Amino acid sequence: MSKKKLKPVSLNMPVDENFLPLAATFVGQAARGFGLSVDAAEELALAAEETVAYITRIDGSQGQDVTIDCRSGSHFVETDISLPIGDLQLRAFNMTTTIDTDDEIGLDQMGLLIASRLADRFRVSRPAGGRLRLSLVKDRPYPGIDTGTPLKIPDALANVRLEVPDAAQIKWFVRLVNQCYPQTLFPMDFRYPGKMVDMADAGDYRLRLLVGPGGEIGGGMAWRWEGTRTVACFGPYLFGDPSNSDMAISLVEACIADIARSPALVLINRMPTFQLPDGYFEMLGSLDIPASDGAALPLTAVFRLMHEDTGCVVWSHPDLEAFLRDEYRRLVFPREIQPVVAEGETDSAFSVLSVETDRHLGRSTLRPIWPGRDGSENLAAHVALLDREGMADIRFEMDLGVAWHAQFTPGLLQLGFRPRLLLPYAGAADRVIFQRRCDQ
């Protein structure tokens, strides 16, 4: 049964220190109403309060108003703060930032530093002609899988049927995937059965399982949207009879049939299992997976066009253009490449990067959040920190539909990153994944 979907709530208030308790109370109560724990709701409330408090100290903000929107996602609560200013000093949101308590400017940034550490994720956006918008996200906590209790693997099944799974079947399925496959072949969400149930209930994931006559799970496949016109699939996963090609084909065809009824242009699989049948996908590119002996093993991503690709405009730094032209020619993707070159326009002083880390795999993925003149230096500082933390696999995702992302290209190449994988329509346009050599 689907949970009742609650509508977003909104608060519009003056930029005034006297209203700071109102901002904190509103966000805290909204977060609890959307299902966050008391502690998590208080952390999100404090993050919002510190952000608004910082705004009150900015010249020109007085007499303006700030809008705070709270909404619930499948596994998170998000607070969006619409800011009445044209620019905001956001470098405190970098994981490399430290504050000098003897410096007045540094102390002024302390509130934003606190806000960035209390949120699990954040985004910054500014539509053309619109307000700056800061989004703070707090995830609901979910217990991980108990790997110390192995499951019984079903025997080979003679008769199976395709089913849309219920909550119990989803949890059983992801536990089987965790037991039978390496973590490089399924997304992190699969490590949290309860999270997968909530995401499937909200429509973030769609799944099909192969179920035997006694209710046994013989295999399954999952898929989700990635960008506005691309769907990413995972699997097929088979248990008990992993070489059964008929079962693998039925799962892939069920996935394709479901996606064919949607507006998706492309279906991709970035971590295909060896059971993926031939003839349904084409090679997209590969990334290296670090092995225990220090070597790097390639993992090939594949794609399938679901409808005619009429093309789009992408933005590129000149140093990336040759790679893009070669890939678009090989993949037969119609694209118009527009160069991005600095021509004296004023930029923000400080850039912001987000970092998603998977410590089980020793992997960190950097994503640009805000442009700045210090892009190369900021990138180098993040990579140095991740090196100290022992991350063997460092990646950078660049959205070719966002022109300013291109400014990070020279810094990436200088640090030994190389463009490895082009994901069609995985962002505002295509997305390029850069990877630093795993043995570097």
349 pLDDT band, cuts 50/70/90, is confident
* Closest residue by Cα to residue 281 from 264, 305, 313: 305
* Residue extent(s) of CATH 3.40.630.30 domains in the chain: 161-300, 312-436
d(CA 198, CA 12) in angstroms, rounded, equals 30
Token code pair at residue 246? 């008929």
pLDDT number for residue 347: 78
Across the beta sheet with 296-305, the strand order is 161-163, 206-211, 217-225, 230-238, 266-269, 296-305, 282-290
* pLDDT tens, residue by residue, 226-235: 988 999 999 9
Token code pair at residue 83? 């800011």
d(CA 307, CA 119) in angstroms, rounded, equals 39
CATH number 2.60.40.10 given to 9-139: no
pLDDT number for residue 59: 59
* Residue extent(s) of CATH 3.30.565.10 domains in the chain: 9-139
Strand partners, 65: 14
* pLDDT tens, residue by residue, 235-284: 999 998 989 999 999 999 999 999 999 999 999 999 999 999 999 999 99
Q: What is the largest CA-CA distance in the chain?
A: 72
**Higher local confidence (pLDDT), 58 or 286:** 286
pLDDT number for residue 60: 60
127 pLDDT band, cuts 50/70/90, is confident
Q: For residue 20, give Cα distances in angstroms to 38, 45, 53, 81, 279.
A: 19, 11, 7, 13, 60
Residues contacting 346, CB < 8 A, separation 6+: none
d(CA 19, CA 308) in angstroms, rounded, equals 53
Token code pair at residue 350? 């400080």
430 in Cβ contact with 335 (< 8 Å): yes
Q: Which fold has domain 312-436?
A: Aminopeptidase (3.40.630)
Q: For residue 424, give Cα distances in angstroms to 308, 420, 439.
A: 13, 13, 28
State the angle between helix axes of 20-33 and 38-56 in degrees (0 to 180), rounded to the nearest 10.
150
pLDDT number for residue 102: 65
Among 90-94, 313-317, 392-396, the minimum mean pLDDT is found in 90-94
* pLDDT tens, residue by residue, 322-341: 999 999 999 999 999 999 98
pLDDT number for residue 148: 78
Please state, as a whole number, how many other Cβ atoms lie within 10 Å of the Cβ of residue 183: 16
pLDDT number for residue 1: 34
Average pLDDT of the segment spanning 137-148 = 91
Q: For residue 321, give Cα distances in angstroms to 190, 193, 400.
A: 36, 42, 11
Residues in the chain: 440
Buried b / exposed e along 379-389 (16+ C-beta atoms within 10 A): bbbbbeebeee
pLDDT number for residue 2: 42
Average pLDDT of the segment spanning 399-404 = 96
Q: For residue 427, give Cα distances in angstroms to 80, 136, 423.
A: 20, 20, 9
DSSP three-state, residue 258: helix
138 in Cβ contact with 76 (< 8 Å): yes
Among 53-57, 83-87, 360-364, the minimum mean pLDDT is found in 83-87
Report the mean per-residue pLDDT for the chain: 91
Among 110-119, 230-239, 379-388, the minimum mean pLDDT is found in 110-119
395 pLDDT band, cuts 50/70/90, is very high
pLDDT number for residue 126: 78
In terms of Cβ atoms closer than 10 Å to its own Cβ (0-12, 13-18, 19+), residue 7 is exposed
Please state, as a whole number, how many other Cβ atoms lie within 10 Å of the Cβ of residue 154: 20
106 pLDDT band, cuts 50/70/90, is low
* pLDDT tens, residue by residue, 1-46: 345 578 999 999 998 899 999 999 999 999 999 999 999 999 999 9
- 129 pLDDT higher than 70: no
Please state, as a whole number, how many other Cβ atoms lie within 10 Å of the Cβ of residue 57: 12
271 in Cβ contact with 186 (< 8 Å): yes
- 104 pLDDT higher than 80: no
Class of domain 161-300: alpha beta
DSSP three-state, residue 440: coil
Average pLDDT of the segment spanning 119-123 = 92
324 in Cβ contact with 335 (< 8 Å): yes
